[in-house]
Structure 1
């Protein structure tokens, strides 16, 4: 067995999941690097610092490196962990805090156990009901990664294992059976959703006064019509710069589109929610520790309203293109 490369009094692992305010949380933690150190908590720069000198807000690179090594101790893994150990020692912190939603589907959590020795471990996770999650993920994939799948094709190809939240947590419990699990649901009206940064700080025992500006929601979603419009642009071969210029213009003019957020019909979303009811029951019984223990019933757009908004987008898109052309022309004059 490899000798642990990092020794800390407490290890906190924020493992996601996606679409639960993780970007807001990570931006907050990154911005409070010095304040956290003053409270003996290190949110390490190691594995966040980029080759160009910039600093990312989360530890996605660490997860990618460990996953690529597939459980082996490579020179790259050893180098990153050694640098993190040095950073921890120099900061004189007692707690090491790592955050990446990509940890949610990390295949080998036991690898971290071998490399990081801690007297106390806390695993923090937040989950969103599967119907909202898949619709929000579709928006992100189209608008940020230019995925060109239609909604149902995207759903058919999605890795359903990521929607079985209880099973996602099992490898982490197996790696650290003694760890404290802080599992919350991303529900309307709860701190996890309304104040993600403040909720995170409360979970790790730092009840700082978090101001409203620190709780802003990143990547506010466009209406579903806008997503399909951008999907069509991506499928038509628009270059990245032009595509993202239009994306920003759509954000500035969201009222161009019908105010319907769901990319899937109410019937499809209700079926997704029903399909994962057994897994969600297991999540509530085994892991959820505070707040609501089960997802609330879905609140969806009326079927007729959804169908009017999404049924014939071909009539909407030419109008949107004309508006974009006029806006671009006005900006140049």
Structure 2
């Protein structure tokens, strides 16, 4: 009896174990099935959402691209003392000329040419005007720009001045003296050529790089010995302080001005660029024939007496002219002079960045 009891008991234990084992397998099966089903549903949902997002992006991108293609924002850099672009901005004629094509215009003021061309390099502006030196430095630095036209301006429109009571009588007397100018500007080239003519090296002077407003304060405070500057600041220094001209650019530098554009803008919006140049020329022609009116027009914006501005206007020339081989050769001389004294890090070819429209 005892033996049968234990046998029966053992059999019950085994049956119970098998039943629990089956249940456990069934539970595992269902758990795995549920997990797999959940994963499939999750992937399906994600794929659906991703498709929805892609579809939405494609639908919304098309109108934006169409809007970009049908309108252009022309971003212009100008110097307050730059007669033509300042007048063009004030008159509003460019905005009217571009309105029919859906293009708009924005204006950004700069103290001089070098920071303006830095803005072209940064992609912040499309068009601007500077003296002859800034584009040399910009090209050497790899800025993607092109020459689109030039302005003859005048060698009389820039000079190196000293205080009216200064003992400095010749350029040779500048040896060891502090000379202020905007580094990389057109007057930087004037200084280089003036020193060369006087038999001095660029290193013979104490270069004091200052933008016009700061240079004017330093000059009037006699914190510098000389100042290389362009009109109308030159005319202002002569009128306000009796500054004496040591030498102007006659026979040293052509002192041309250049209209420049971002390379990408000139390639993508050639027709718009031509319209801009047409409007610039109209204002230039008006300014050439009306120096007194130009002076009165710009006086409030510049904070300079109209009498001083008129002096500056009368000793300059005007024009929006195509870039010729002669002009390119002149710019190449500027580039070579800067490279010779290591002001630019490499030799450049000016003709490589002339707009061929």
TM-score (normalizing by structure 1): 0.30
Structure of greater Rg: 2
